[in-house]
Structure 1
Amino acid sequence: MVDAHGNNLAFLLCTPRSGSSLATVMLQNHSKLFATQEMWFLMSLLDLKSAPRRAYGGGAILDRFFNGVLPGEAFEEACRSFALQVYNGLLRSGGGADTIIDKSPRYYYLLEFLDALFPRSRRIWLIRNPFAVLASYKKLGSSRGGSSDLTAMLGSSAFDIKAADLTVGLLRYCRYFSRPDPFAYRLHYEKLVADPRGQLTGLCRFLGTEYEDGMENYGERMGSSKSGLYFSMGVGDPNVAEHAAPHEDSVHAWKDVLTKREAELYGRMLGARVFVELGYGEQLEEAEKWAGVRFGQEPDDSLMALRARQLAEATGCSWEADYEMRSDFSGGEKKLSAASKTGRRVSDVDDDVRQPHDSHSQLLQLQMTVRALEQRLESGILEQRRLRSQLNAMKRKADWLKSAIPFGSRLSRLASAYMVGGGKK
């Protein structure tokens, strides 16, 4: 079962269209693993803080409560408790599974929240050639009758979540997994489809179990209850069910799907360094030769800033710049390091920061009060600005009418004289 630290919980993280559906449909064949389609529910928990409009109103009240009155630690604890009930409820119905895998590609915008809730969870980063990911978006759009104009989608100044996936999402994962960590594991899509048995063996060991024979042949287990649950959700890659086992057909298909202009535009956006760091230097050189250009080393900073701002505005979320993974292991290292500088035991350091219960409660209450007052003050300032803007608009309208009245009176007098004079001057 999953505990409060995240033991027996794994997150399969990647940008959409990276092959997570294929990885999941094979993992769910393992008797000790429960893996199904996207859950996404951690995003819903975090969205409580954004307080969208509701039929019963109270958006400002909810915003003040979640972001002012309720302590951050209490909010995290409540979300953790809810998540534990969900994960363990699924495990109880998982037919003997003891580890659950949450596959939700767009978790890239709540990585800080994920680390705070479950610091000992296993985090799998599924990596795929960015050009192949881009091509997969195009193919999916065409197959579903939607837009497949990647140039318009990538180059538009308007917000599009797919554009955020391909830019901000990918770079957030790159930074998050930039340092080795015992709770992190890199899995390359191309290696997975070329050698599924070998790659699944290593992945299973990372998850604390052993490879089970035939996991990769998911077509042979279509009739099982776990497989039925997986496919019943109808999300993820719709093409997975068309095959019975992994294949390499789509590894090099990006060269046939993308145009030179699309490859050039995306390569310039991401920069060459990202491809090299992910292990796709060869594919980068191939794309540059094909498109007849050389990409700069760094991403397009202005575009990335625009996409990050749009995503923050659309989701109501904010995050730390250049955020890196923080596991229980890295947190423990920091505590040990702080203690070693003073030559004291970690327990001694913990004892020093403990406060009497009453004083701690009073401090929390004072902090809550300050946050609530700050929010009210901020709301009051915003309301003052709105009213001042409205007042200025009304004043400008009144001034315009005042200036127009004399001119209108003069026109009226001229018209009357004209009529009295029989149309003569």
Structure 2
Amino acid sequence: MISNHGDHLVFLLSMPRSGSTLLSLMLGSHPEICCPPEPWIVLALAEYLRLGDVRSTPYGREWAEIAAIEFVLKPERIQRGALGKALRMIAETSRLDAITAARQILQTVYQLHLDVSGRSIFVDKTPRYYAVLGMIDKIFPQAKKIVLLRNPLDVFASYKATWEIPRTIFTPEGVSVHARDFCEGLFTLADYIATSRNDLLVLRYEDLANDPESVLRSACEFADINFSPTMLAYYENAALIEEYKRSPVGDPVSSCRPKPTNNRTVNAWEMRLDEADIQVLIDVLGIKIFERLGYGNTVARLRDISVNIPTEEQAFGRRNLLMRSLIDHVHEQPFSIWNNFVSPLKGCQADRAARLEVIQQQQAVLQGVRQSLEISEADRAARLEAIHRQQQELEQLRHSLVVSEADRAARLDAIHRQQQELDRLRQNLEVSEADRAARLDAIHRQQKELDQLHSTYGFLCYRFSQLKKWIYECRKR
């Protein structure tokens, strides 16, 4: 997700006709990258929010307006209802400072494109962003920037061959916005890449044409994603090519007839530009800019073909003259479609403010209710805690009862066994008692018999003693 600082966001910066469409088609063919045709949205917001001095110099305002509206509307065509979020964000910008407003709008619209495309990284490729480089850094300080460079002579050769731009743009009478690209764009990009930065990657069109895979691998590593071979087969991505073909802005040639890369357009200026074309361009640029951009070898070639090399002061003076003529004589129409696009939303702001006041009052009431609920919730939490403790105690008691019940059952079983043993003993005793009674009865009878015998024995003893006494007396006589 694109953050406030610009995570998952990449800006592709370049001069027009520098191969940015080719590179964007390659990047857009990666399964994780969303890279639509030129959005121009930052320039449009700078105009709409009056950021910086964008309005002071022509930059292609009509293209910016059309491209920005197309860029904002595209997600709605893919996913119905997606546009509402962007429009609400635009309507709310009146209460924000300009940079914050731009950040929120851009973050919302960029994220809409990621959401409907299912990708994770958004690439905004708009060549004229050289006019708002500082603004981009302020809005998204952590966004990554890829600067694509090309030999300025080849850039102008492409202007001439593709857009049929004549060399008269470098005269005060024929100056156009395209002259600004050379008078300001080249030098702004040179200043921008002069300092080493972790958020900046510099690529060259010549390297892209000669060894596209190495360049694309560098770009993927810079964006913290893995290289995908589908990037090299960008010309087979029919859906993306069709999207570029339908775009009202951008490169009409390379997107309509995509083909594998080749290096035939490297140093094509030697065949496409005549001596007058080269001379008028060098008169405006000088030669130091070639060295600053890394094309110092071109300077030697220019000397070989006897080009008159101006001093840097002379070239600077010509550039200043052209820029003054551009400001004085080229007048671009102010935004009209964009204002009509968002003005109904602005008209709703008063009604929206009244509704917001009612909402704020309701929120105050809800805040009081919420506080009461929080107190009730605290009391409820305390009660639940007490119930929880009681449940724990009951659980412990139940466990103790279960243990006691098991012990009781064991003891009852032991008592039952002992009862059975006592019953057996009782039965045995009952049997023994009956036998004892019978024996006592027998003993009693025997005792009676013995008593009779004893009485008879006593009588016999008595009679015997009488008999002995009689016998004794008889002997005495």
- The TM tier, using the shorter chain, reads 0.5 to 0.7
For 2:39, the aligned partner's letter is: M
Q: How many residues align?
A: 291
Which residue is 1:90 aligned to?
113
2:229 is paired with a residue whose SS is coil
Partner of 2:166: 149
1:281 aligns with 2:296: yes
Report SS of the residue matched to 2:2: coil
Deviations 1:132-159 (A, max 9, x none): 00000101233xxxxx421x11122554
Instruction: State the 1:292 CA deviation.
Output: 3.9
Structure with the larger helix share = 2
Kept after mapping to 1: 8 A contact 2:35/2:122: yes
Residue number among 257, 264, 280 corresponding to 1:249 in the alignment: 264
1:23 Cα deviation from its structure 2 partner: 0.5
Per-residue deviation, residues 78-107 of structure 1 (Å, max 9, x unmatched): 111111110000000113x11100001111
Verify the 8 A CA contact 1:261 1:291 in the aligned structure 2.
no
Aligned match of 1:296: 311
Amino acid at match of 1:273: K
Per the TM alignment, residue 298 of structure 1 is displaced from its structure 2 partner at its CA by 5.8
2:278 aligned residue (254, 258, 263)? 263
**Residue 109 (structure 1) aligned with residue 126 (structure 2):** no
C-alpha distance 294-226 of structure 1, shift in aligned 2 (>3 A): closer
2:423 is aligned to: none
The aligned counterpart of 1:10 is 10
Matched residue, 1:76: 99
Shift, 1:39, TM fit: 0.3
| Displacement of 1:210 | 1.5
The residue number in structure 1 matching 2:22 is: 22
Q: For the structure 1 residues 226 and 256, does the alpha-carbon distance in structure 2 shift closer, same or farther, using more than 3 Å as the test?
A: closer
CA distance in 1, matches of 2:100, 2:291: 40
Change over 3 Å in CA distance of 1:306–1:156 after alignment to 2: closer
Determine the C-alpha separation between the residues in 2 that align with 1:306 and 1:178.
26
CA distance in 2, matches of 1:189, 1:205: 18
Distance verdict in 2 for CA 1:193–1:124, change over 3 Å: same
Q: How far apart are residue 50 of structure 1 and its match?
A: 4.9
The 5-angstrom pairing of residues 133-144 of structure 1 reads 133-142=155-164
Matched ranges for 1:66-215 at <5 A: 74-95=97-118, 97-142=119-164, 148-150=165-167, 152-157=168-173, 159-215=175-231
Equivalent-residue separation in structure 1 for 2:124 and 2:324 (angstroms)? 27
C-alpha displacement of 1:75:
1.3
Contact 1:270 1:298 survives alignment (8 Å): no
CA RMSD of the aligned region, Å?
Answer: 2.6
Give TM-score scaled by structure 1 length: 0.64
CA drift of 1:267 comes to 1.5
In structure 2, the gaps of 5 or more residues are 56-93, 334-477
With 33-42 and 158-167 compared, the bigger mean Cα shift is at: 158-167
C-alpha contact 1:30 1:215 (8 A) present in aligned 2: yes
> Residue 273 of structure 1: CA displacement?
1.3
Q: Using the TM superposition, give the Cα deviation of residue 186 of structure 1 relative to its aligned residue in structure 2, in angstroms.
A: 0.3
Residue in 2 that maps onto 1:44: 44
The alpha carbon displacement at 1:310 in A equals 5.5
Q: 1:172 to 1:311 in 2, by over 3 A?
A: farther
Partner of 1:357: none
- Partners of 1:25 and 1:160 lie apart in 2 by 28
Instruction: Give % identity.
Output: 28
The one-character-per-residue Cα deviations of 1:321-362 (angstroms, maximum 9, x if unpaired) are: xxxxxxxxxxxxxxxxxxxxxxxxxxxxxxxxxxxxxxxxxx
| SS at 2:262 equivalent | coil
Secondary structure of the residue that 1:125 maps to in structure 2?
A: strand
Are 1:264 and 1:291, in contact at CA under 8 Å, matched by a contact in 2? no
> 2:146–2:201: 8 Å Cα contact kept in structure 1?
yes
C-alpha distance in structure 2 between counterparts of 1:190 and 1:122, whole Å: 22
Post-superposition Cα deviations, 1:165-216, rounded to whole Å, max 9, x if no partner, equal 1221111111122101000110100000100001100111101112101312
Deviates more, 1:231-240 or 1:24-33: 231-240
Normalising by the residue count of structure 2, what TM-score does the alignment of the two structures yield?
Answer: 0.57
Distance 1:312 1:103, change over 3 A: farther
CA distance in 1, matches of 2:242, 2:332: 32
Residue identity matched to 1:110: V
